[in-house]
A and B are shown apart, each in its own frame.
Chain A
Amino acid sequence: MLEVSDLRLIRDGKAILNDLNLRVERGEIHGLLGVNGTGKTTLANIIMGLAAPAGGRILFEGEDITRLPVWQRAKRGITLAWQEPARFEGLTVRDYLQLNGRADPAELEENLASVGLPPGQYLDRFVDSTLSGGERKRIELASVMSVKPKLAILDEPDSGIDMVSLPHIMNGITQMVKGGSSVLLITHNDSGAEIADRVSVICAGKIIKSGSPKEVSQWFKSNCRVCLTPGMPREGV
């Protein structure tokens, strides 16, 4: 479904993405593990069209979308949930969940319930600073579900989340996949990758390992968690 080839981004002479290659298959949750500063969010932004790469190509369902603007990628079925979602004065949760009108009222309620938020208590609240961080992230996920994406890029949906909210976030992601979406799940938390079908590790702007969640998570713990030179993979890794 998504094929990223030789993606490259250089800032201030430093390669943020370094000929990165990644495939996300239809219907899978693909976990992307990496410690801070390895290029995870940059990759998410480039796939969504928020930043332009210096080189490389992004194919989505066989179409080259490398130069398409954000909204055209969204029209083709890609969406992104930010690590720190924006807040909107005067916009209700109901408004926010039906921005593109793809979900009917019953589905909006189901999506909120999937992330553990009672619709009756939340639909008429504003998506503003009155929401806690956990509430805002769960609403972001419900919003992503409501646009029925073919590919959802979730940038660290598990970061900064309390223990109560985390299972709701994970439930929302699995519900979304059951509904037909594919997910690129970006995280630096190896336990967050447990729900993935496949996991890749990113370091220094390139994918250095891919495989099953169990195998790759263990490898990540053994290598990346103890790495003294993050962003500079050792020889042979």
Chain B
Amino acid sequence: MVVKEYEALLQAYGRAGGDNQALENSEVGNLLIHGNKVLKANQVKGLKVETEEFASGVKVHFLVERGARIKHPVHLCFGLLPQEGLQEIIMQVKAEEESKVNVLAHCIFPSAVKVIHKMDAELEIGPGAEFNYRETHYHGEFGGIEVIPKAKIRIAERGVWSSNFTLIQGLVGKLDYDFEASCEEKAVAELLLKAYGKNNDELKVWERIHLNGRESRGLAKSRLVLSDRAKAEVRGETYGNAPLARGHVDCLEIVNGDEALASAIPVVQVRNKQAKVTHEAAIGSLDKKQIQTLMARGLEEAEAIDVIVSGILRG
């Protein structure tokens, strides 16, 4: 049964853009979870991955050791192939001092009719450590999925966190995304979300950055395109609490459906006279001039819209 699940998830992973060879390569750190079963876990030098299965999911301890520079991106795959089910991933992540790692996560729910996927992550990025996290979802065309990713990221001095959460393939279903980062001195946090809502998708996005350390920097950026009757609410918050902290909130929501609804709530707050936080939010239809430009190159209107939307949502 496990072998069957493994092969099926591997196939789905490949279809969703995952690198199957990376999962077979012993030099590449990886972790493959189906439902509450760990199908594969590969550690590499400097990276320790421990897992605990429980009834509805898996608890993962992910450690990048002090000074380790992980050569190849670490591949994570979380999925649930049946039409119904619950998957909870509890992540405890620690990147120790001066370590560096790139993580590519794929979350795959190709047949979801009634599926809940929850991720609760606590992340500690150590002094001078760099953690780049890219999460891509593939949801199939049924829209019966609820995705609830929550992450609390603490970034120590000079540490760097960069995340890129992408949900553009298949229907979103319901998304309740909540990423919160706190930066110490000279630390950097970049939160980026890209999503394409269609049909009756509902998206709630909440990005928060606390710039607590001197000269810390933060960017909370989101790009959403909404078609049909999709609805989205984006809250981008940045708090400048320390001298020379610099933050920016950047939200773009494109409404490309007669019944789609977009809202944005940017919050910028400064508690220190030497801090500066800016924001920009644009909500509206696709730019007419962009469409006309592409049509003047020979694209039909629908093709032009596809090109523009693909650009906005580019990973």
**Judging by beta carbons under 8 Å apart, are B294 and A89 in contact?**
no
Contact with A along B223-256 (1 / 0, CB 8 A): 1000000000000000000000000000010000
User: Inside 8 A of B20's CB, which chain A residues have their CB?
Assistant: none
User: Inside 8 A of A95's CB, which chain B residues have their CB?
Assistant: 307, 311
Contact with A along B272-305 (1 / 0, CB 8 A): 0000000000000001011011111111110000
Give B309's nearest chain A residue, CB to CB. Answer: A90
The binding surface of chain B is classed by DSSP as helix
Q: B310: CB under 8 A from chain A?
A: yes
Contact with A along B173-209 (1 / 0, CB 8 A): 0000000000000000000000000000000000000
Of B297, B301, B312, B313, the contact of A99 (CB 8 Å cutoff): B297
Of A82, A85, A90, the contact of B311 (CB 8 Å cutoff): A90
B157 to chain A, nearest CB (A): 30
When chains A and B are docked, how far (Å) is the Cα of A13 from the Cα of B313? Answer: 44
A3 to chain B, nearest CB (A): 20
Q: B264: CB under 8 A from chain A?
A: no
**Judging by beta carbons under 8 Å apart, are B293 and A85 in contact?**
yes
User: Inside 8 A of A50's CB, which chain B residues have their CB?
Assistant: 292, 296
**Judging by beta carbons under 8 Å apart, are A90 and B296 in contact?**
no
Of A69, A75, A86, A90, the contact of B293 (CB 8 Å cutoff): A86
Contact with B along A43-86 (1 / 0, CB 8 A): 00000101000000000000000000111001100111010011
User: Inside 8 A of B292's CB, which chain A residues have their CB?
Assistant: 50, 70
Q: A91: CB under 8 A from chain B?
A: yes
Q: A219: CB under 8 A from chain B?
A: no
B221 to chain A, nearest CB (A): 11
User: Inside 8 A of B299's CB, which chain A residues have their CB?
Assistant: 71, 74, 99-100
The interface size of chain A toward B, counting residues with CB under 8 Å, comes to 22
The interface size of chain B toward A, counting residues with CB under 8 Å, comes to 22
- Once A48-B296, A100-B297, A147-B297 are accepted as A-B contacts, the answer to whether A88 and B290 lie under 8 Å apart by CB is yes
Of B223, B301, B307, the contact of A91 (CB 8 Å cutoff): B307
When chains A and B are docked, how far (Å) is the Cα of A90 from the Cα of B311? Answer: 4
B79 to chain A, nearest CB (A): 27
Q: A217: CB under 8 A from chain B?
A: no
Q: A143: CB under 8 A from chain B?
A: yes
The binding surface of chain A is classed by DSSP as loop
When chains A and B are docked, how far (Å) is the Cα of A48 from the Cα of B312? Answer: 26
A39 to chain B, nearest CB (A): 19
When chains A and B are docked, how far (Å) is the Cα of A89 from the Cα of B252? Answer: 11
Q: B271: CB under 8 A from chain A?
A: no
User: Inside 8 A of B290's CB, which chain A residues have their CB?
Assistant: 86, 88
**Judging by beta carbons under 8 Å apart, are B296 and A86 in contact?**
no
User: Inside 8 A of B307's CB, which chain A residues have their CB?
Assistant: 91, 95, 99
When chains A and B are docked, how far (Å) is the Cα of A99 from the Cα of B297? Answer: 7
User: Inside 8 A of B296's CB, which chain A residues have their CB?
Assistant: 48, 50, 70-71, 74, 78-80
**Judging by beta carbons under 8 Å apart, are B287 and A86 in contact?**
yes
User: Inside 8 A of B297's CB, which chain A residues have their CB?
Assistant: 74, 79, 99-100, 143, 147
User: Inside 8 A of A82's CB, which chain B residues have their CB?
Assistant: 289, 293
A165 to chain B, nearest CB (A): 20
When chains A and B are docked, how far (Å) is the Cα of A175 from the Cα of B206? Answer: 51
A87 to chain B, nearest CB (A): 8
**Judging by beta carbons under 8 Å apart, are B308 and A88 in contact?**
yes
**Judging by beta carbons under 8 Å apart, are A74 and B298 in contact?**
yes
Give A144's nearest chain B residue, CB to CB. Answer: B297
When chains A and B are docked, how far (Å) is the Cα of A79 from the Cα of B292? Answer: 11
- Once A71-B299, A100-B298, A147-B298 are accepted as A-B contacts, the answer to whether A88 and B289 lie under 8 Å apart by CB is no
A166 to chain B, nearest CB (A): 22
- Once A50-B292, A70-B292, A74-B295 are accepted as A-B contacts, the answer to whether A88 and B301 lie under 8 Å apart by CB is no
Q: B72: CB under 8 A from chain A?
A: no
User: Inside 8 A of B295's CB, which chain A residues have their CB?
Assistant: 69-71, 74
Q: B314: CB under 8 A from chain A?
A: yes
CB contact list, A80-114 vs B, under 8 A: 80, 82, 85-86, 88-91, 95, 99-100
User: Inside 8 A of B294's CB, which chain A residues have their CB?
Assistant: 99
**Judging by beta carbons under 8 Å apart, are B313 and A90 in contact?**
yes
Q: Give me 19 A-to-B residue pairs in the complex whose CB atoms sit less than 8 angstroms apart, sorted by A's number.
A: A50-B296, A70-B292, A71-B296, A71-B298, A71-B299, A71-B300, A86-B293, A88-B290, A88-B308, A89-B223, A90-B310, A90-B312, A90-B313, A90-B314, A95-B307, A95-B311, A99-B298, A99-B299, A99-B307
Chain A interface (Cβ within 8 Å of chain B)?
Answer: 48, 50, 69-71, 74-75, 78-80, 82, 85-86, 88-91, 95, 99-100, 143, 147
Closest 4 A/B residue pairs (Cβ)? A90-B311, A90-B314, A74-B298, A91-B311
- A74-B295, A99-B299 given. 10 additional CB < 8 A pairs? A48-B296, A71-B295, A71-B298, A71-B301, A74-B296, A79-B298, A82-B289, A90-B314, A95-B307, A99-B307
